[in-house]
Amino acid sequence: MPELPDDMTAEMTMDASTLYREEIFTDRKIGTIRVLTPVRTNGAPDLGRTIVYVGEAQLLTTVGTLPLSFEIEAQSLEDAVSKYAGAAQQAFERAVQELQEVRRQAASSIIVPDRGIPGLGPGGSPGGGFPGGGRIKLS
The 3-state secondary structure of 42-55, one letter per residue: CCCECCCCCCEEEE
Note the pLDDT of residue 139.
43
Helices assigned H by DSSP within the chain: 6-11, 77-108
pLDDT at 75 over 60: yes
119 inside domain: no
- Residues 6 or more apart whose CB falls under 8 angstroms from that of 86 comprise none
pLDDT at 121 over 60: no
67 inside domain: yes
Compute the CA torsion angle 32, 38, 39, 44 (nearest 10 deg).
-90
24, 49 contact by CB (below 8 A): no
Domain around 45: 16-108
Question: What are 51-64's pLDDT values in tens digits?
Answer: 999 999 988 877 78
Tell me the whole-structure pTM to 2 decimals.
0.67
Q: Please tell me the distance from the alpha carbon of residue 46 to that of residue 17, in angstroms, as a whole number.
A: 10
The domain total for the chain is 1
Note the pLDDT of residue 138.
47
Higher pLDDT, 9 or 90: 90
Residue 53's DSSP bridge partners are 35, 72
Q: Please tell me the distance from the alpha carbon of residue 87 to that of residue 53, in angstroms, as a whole number.
A: 11
Q: Please tell me the distance from the alpha carbon of residue 34 to that of residue 56, in angstroms, as a whole number.
A: 8
